[in-house]
Amino acid sequence: MKTSLKSVAKSNLDPSDETVEVISITHWTDSLFSFQLKRPKSFRFKSGEFVLIGLRDTTETLILRAYSIASPSWDDALLFYSISVKDGPLTSILSKINPGDRVILKRKPTGTLVLDALRRGKRLFLFATGTGIAPFASIIRDPMIYENFDHIILTHTCRMKRDLAFGELILELRKKDLLLRDLNIKKLKYFPTLTREKFVNTGRITALISSGHFFRDAGIGDFSYDTDKAMVCGSMEFNKEMASILKGKGMKEGSISSPGDFVLERAFVG
Ligand code: A2P
């Protein structure tokens, strides 16, 4: 007998599973959704980190995947943004959760897209494709970036206009954040670009950087390893291409143990 999602989410959990309650779920497109989980009081993380989330499937097998936390580290709820893959073992189930269901949340957040992995600089570039916007949704609501950088440039490459909606909502929410009230959040420049629909910016960000259109259209100067720091989150191929572009400008990859000029993380996919 096929088990329904409700019973997957509620009864297929092992008593030792660390579960939390689903507060809400929003479907942005046929394949993109976000969900909010109740944040356990003891759960702490740095903006930009990811955590393991999961469920047990109908055979009681535990399925866990890394998810960037898309809410800021000061928020009461934990927000996540996901693509739903038709036969994806986790996302096909997760995309059907409802408020009140429970999912597994592992309590050890980690990740490389954190400010501690970057040296000091003047401009912070955040390069995302698709659901790679998730860690930056957290970071752009963190007061630290406005305190530490003079300019922040967030780029988001998506296929269609509707794929930008989640990021645009976060940019709006940011305007109401009390913790950002006394900071100059206008120093963040948003540069969305679409690859499969006509738009104000069209084409992959990598191509726009190489052609120089990005700097011209965003009204900013070319990269300088002295002043610029960058975070990159997208597909493996995107990350590789961005790393090569940034290294070509003399920038060095960083980590928490050895801070540098840029950091990379693969966006969650399946
Ligand atoms: P494209 O439409 O040209 O493939 P996806 O939906 O496949 O995850 O991709 C999200 C966005 O990222 C799309 O706009 C896609 O462009 C773009 N993209 C995919 N791979 C790369 C890459 N290597 N460099 C830059 N952009 C990329």
Q: What domains are defined for the chain?
A: 5-105 (2.40.30.10), 115-264 (3.40.50.80)
pLDDT band at 32 (very low <50, low <70, confident <90, very high): very high
pLDDT band at 268 (very low <50, low <70, confident <90, very high): confident
Separation of alpha carbons 38 and 19, rounded Å: 10
Report how far ligand 1's centroid is from the alpha carbon of 139 (Å): 22
Atom index in ligand 1 nearest the CA of residue 206 equals 25
Give how far the C-alpha of residue 142 lies from the chain's centroid of Cα atoms, to the nearest Å.
Answer: 13
Report how far ligand 1's centroid is from the alpha carbon of 235 (Å): 8
Token pair, residue 230, equals 């960058």
Q: Are 173 and 138 in contact (CB under 8 A)?
A: no
Q: Give mean pLDDT, residues 137-154.
A: 98
Q: Are 55 and 37 in contact (CB under 8 A)?
A: no
Tens digits of residue pLDDT in 49-97: 999 999 988 888 899 999 999 999 999 999 999 999 988 889 999 999 9
pLDDT band at 10 (very low <50, low <70, confident <90, very high): low
Say if residue 211's pLDDT is above 80. Answer: yes
- Judged by DSSP in three states, 64 sits in strand
Structure confidence at residue 16 (pLDDT): 66
Give how far the C-alpha of residue 135 lies from the chain's centroid of Cα atoms, to the nearest Å.
Answer: 3
Say if residue 6's pLDDT is above 90. Answer: no
Tens digits of residue pLDDT in 159-175: 999 999 999 999 999 99
Structure confidence at residue 5 (pLDDT): 46
pLDDT band at 4 (very low <50, low <70, confident <90, very high): very low
Q: Are 232 and 262 in contact (CB under 8 A)?
A: yes
Question: Mean pLDDT over all residues of the chain?
Answer: 93
Atom index in ligand 1 nearest the CA of residue 83 equals 8
Please work out whether the CB of residue 196 comes within 6 Å of at least one atom of ligand 1: yes
Q: Whose CA is nearest to atom 19 of ligand 1?
A: 238
Edge-to-edge strand order for the sheet containing 77-83?
A: 62-68, 50-56, 102-105, 19-27, 32-38, 77-83
Say if residue 184's pLDDT is above 80. Answer: yes
Atom index in ligand 1 nearest the CA of residue 196 equals 2
Q: Whose CA is nearest to atom 12 of ligand 1?
A: 129
Report how far ligand 1's centroid is from the alpha carbon of 246 (Å): 18
Q: Give mean pLDDT, residues 208-212.
A: 97
Structure confidence at residue 270 (pLDDT): 59
DSSP states along 136-182:
HHHHTT-HHHHHH-SEEEEEEEESSGGGGHHHHHHHHHHTT-GGGTT
Separation of alpha carbons 155 and 153, rounded Å: 6
Say if residue 228's pLDDT is above 70. Answer: yes
Share of the chain above pLDDT 90, in %: 86
Structure confidence at residue 99 (pLDDT): 97
Separation of alpha carbons 215 and 81, rounded Å: 29
Structure confidence at residue 1 (pLDDT): 33
Q: Which residue has the higher pLDDT, 68 or 4?
A: 68
Please work out whether the CB of residue 195 comes within 6 Å of at least one atom of ligand 1: yes
Say if residue 210's pLDDT is above 90. Answer: yes
Token pair, residue 35, equals 């969900």
Which among 269, 187, 268, 265 has a CA at the least distance from the CA of 231?
A: 265
* Lowest-pLDDT range of 1-10, 91-100, 121-130, 213-222: 1-10
Report how far ligand 1's centroid is from the alpha carbon of 168 (Å): 18
Say if residue 7's pLDDT is above 80. Answer: no
